[in-house]
A and B are shown apart, each in its own frame.
Chain A
Amino acid sequence: EIVMTQSPATLSVSPGERATLSCRASQSVSSNLVWYQQKPGQAPRLLIYGASTRATGIPVRFSGSGSGTEFTLTISSLQSEDSAVYYCQQYDSWPPRGTFGQGTKVEIK
């Protein structure tokens, strides 16, 4: 089973600053990784798929990078509305397993 580990657990960033979130896979998942944003009381929102492609309607300040076992979600200039929990999920396993990371909470400093 592929284990996804996110760090840090909580990230406190000032508005306008860059936020960098990490996701590590216990074995290679190629580029088969997505990122979600979840705000309190809401369903998750797909941000990034294929490790680096922004989903429809996602602002350009969100970017994803990485492949294999190391992935990064970067919010280039943090806005107040970006306060949320961010999850990575791999979809490389066959048969499908869809393992999520435990999440990183982004707070506005």
Chain B
Amino acid sequence: QVQLQESGPGLVKPSETLSLTCAVSGYSISTTYYWGWIRQPPGKGLEWIGSIYHSGITYYNPSLKSRVTISVDTSKNQFSLQLSSVTAADTAVYYCARAYGSGTVSFDHWGQGILVTVSS
């Protein structure tokens, strides 16, 4: 059974870079499937951030593309999110997830989520 676990700082200062890691267990990230990040501001809806394949192919939400980098480390079976120049609007629960089937942006296995607050 695949499991995903987000980790990283829960508090980031404005203008700095948010960095999160998703550790995957129960499945090798080096085989099939895309892996992605999704976020949810408190009390609001879901927003897809981006997705990555083990080969390094990435797709990003155009609204965030200039600030987002998603990378994969197959040796550690994990992938990461970096979001630069954060503001209070980036405060959200950040989820990592595995895409279902051959898809890239829809997900059938999710981490529990990590709340990241942007504040000085």
Binding site for B on A (CB under 8 A): 1, 34, 36, 38, 43-46, 49, 55-56, 87, 89, 91, 95-103
Contact = CB atoms under 8 A, between A and B. Distances in A.
A35 to B, nearest CB: 10
A98 B61 contact: yes
Interface string B95-120: 10100110111111011110000000
B108 A98 contact: no
Interface in B61-120: 61-62, 95, 97, 100-101, 103-108, 110-113
Q: Is the interface of A mostly helix, strand, loop or mixed?
A: loop
Give the interface centre of B45, B95, B104, B112 by most chain A CB atoms within 10 Å: B45
A38 B95 CA distance: 13
Give the top 7 A-B pairs by smallest Cβ distance, nearest first: A98-B105, A98-B48, A43-B110, A46-B108, A96-B59, A34-B106, A96-B104
Nearest to B107: A46
B108 to A, nearest CB: 4
A91 B59 contact: no
B16 interface: no
B2 to A, nearest CB: 12
A97 B113 CA distance: 21
Contacts, number: 62
A55 B109 CA distance: 11
Contact of A100 (B46, B59, B101, B110): B46
A86 B109 CA distance: 17
A34 B46 CA distance: 13
Give the interface centre of A43, A91, A95 by most chain B CB atoms within 10 Å: A43
Contacts of A97: 48, 61-62, 105
A36 B104 CA distance: 16
Nearest to B101: A49
Nearest to A56: B108
